[in-house]
Structure 1
Amino acid sequence: MLNFLGSRLDQIVFSSWQHFSLVVQCLILASVIAVGLAALVYRNKALTSAANSVSAIGLTIPSFALIGILIGPVGFGVVPAVIVVTFFAALPILRNAVVGLGGVDASLVESARGIGMSRLRTLIRVELPMAWPVILAGIRVSAQMVMGIAAVAAYALGPGLGGLIFSGLSRLGGANSLESVVTAVIGVVILAFVLDLLLVGLGRLTIPRGIRV
């Protein structure tokens, strides 16, 4: 194992950075999309129910199958990886955003409207900050989930540590095959842990102590 790490350290570090970068960028994109959709539907019970159903049903789709389906229309490489990771990342965030926005105390909203705030300003200045702890919890769940899904995206030649996993599995029993798989799996776990710590730090910086959950 040590010989494998020493001989391929540059490749492992580069793949780890690609993996982490892919997950973070897709997580940001998914957060924007999910929170935007939640802001559009959370006041309507029918739309809220539909959003919750989509977020639940979407998680039942096998990521490996979805990647395979996307290879036809969009080809190999970064594009299918970004689409799949963003799609799965958005689902828990959407559910939490709907719950968080729907759980804001109605009296606070009424008070904001009573002092002349527009609906949009009330959303930005009152509702989103109050719902942020719940939304951030969804982001943390998404981050852990898609860290593994990003590895599966290597099936479509996407970036990241998944390449080491598929390379090792394709020649299982050969030289360094097990070391390749184990190194990539451990790398994914470490990256997930690091990203979660960063999100915890983000929460401490952005959530007032009085409303932390």
Structure 2
Amino acid sequence: MNVLEYVADRWDRLSLQAFLHVSAVVQCTVLATLLGVLIGVAVYRSPAGSALATALASTILTIPSFALLALLIPVFGLGADTTVVALVLYALLPIVRNTIVGLAGVDPAVSDAARGIGMSRLGVLTRVELRLAWPAILAGMRVATQMLMGIAVIAAYVKGPGLGSEVFSGLANAGSANSMNQALTGTIGVVVLALLLDGIYVLVNRFTVSRGVRG
């Protein structure tokens, strides 16, 4: 049996796993974006705060996936909760860093002009600065999503959802009839889904970032 036959025979199960994989990654990226942007907004005016936030997020990223997942099991148990916490933590660095870079790169004259026409500090932040920083934030989300697509595979170690179970089952049953098909299906599926999500980011960038800012 080749990979195509394997996929065709098990399409219902594999399509559900693919959906759960993408769903977990997208939801965790959204959660990480909300948290990362809040952190970025809180520290971007302070060089020391920015350096500290970036350093802490970088430290999390240096922890091997298996080690972090194992450390989270006693707290959150096996399953989706541990997966979500781990993915959100891993996604923080590119989002926090890009938020800080994007906000710090806004021309102070633009912010001053906005305040000069009567905008509140919150209005300047939400209606001017964050909009100008959006391309950088979106780029951080794009990087985070691609990272999480691979890390979500390892989350199968803690019974997380997605295509990782195919990869792990294939490796665990190495030498059996369909072990190679399982591992290849999970791996190729993740690559294809990652490419599709990256294409969606290209479209989001095209429709949410003005041509002047892109150019």
TM class by shorter-chain length? over 0.9
Alignment of 1:94-113 (within 5 A): 94-113=96-115
Alignment of 1:23-34 (within 5 A): 23-34=25-36
Runs of 4+ in structure 1 over 6 Å off: none
Partner of 1:89: 91
TM-score (norm 2): 0.96
Given candidates 52, 60, 76, the residue that maps to 1:50 is 52
Deviations 1:37-94 (A, max 9, x none): 1011101111011112123222211111111111111111100011111111121111
**Structure 1: unaligned runs, 5 residues or longer:** none
Q: Distance in 2 between matches of 1:3 and 1:25?
A: 31
Q: Distance in 2 between matches of 1:77 and 1:125?
A: 39
Q: Report whether the alignment pairs 1:122 with 2:124.
A: yes
Q: Distance in 1 between matches of 2:112 and 2:20?
A: 46
Q: Distance in 2 between matches of 1:3 and 1:193?
A: 23
| Identity percentage of aligned residues | 48
Partner of 1:137: 139
Deviations 1:18-54 (A, max 9, x none): 0001101111111111001101110111101111212
TM-score (norm 1): 0.97
Q: Report whether the alignment pairs 1:205 with 2:204.
A: no
Given candidates 15, 25, 29, the residue that maps to 2:17 is 15
Please, what is the CA RMSD of the aligned residues? Answer: 1.0
The size of the alignment, in residue pairs, is: 213
Given candidates 72, 75, 79, the residue that maps to 2:74 is 72
**Structure 2: unaligned runs, 5 residues or longer:** none
CA-CA distance at 1:146 after TM superposition = 0.5
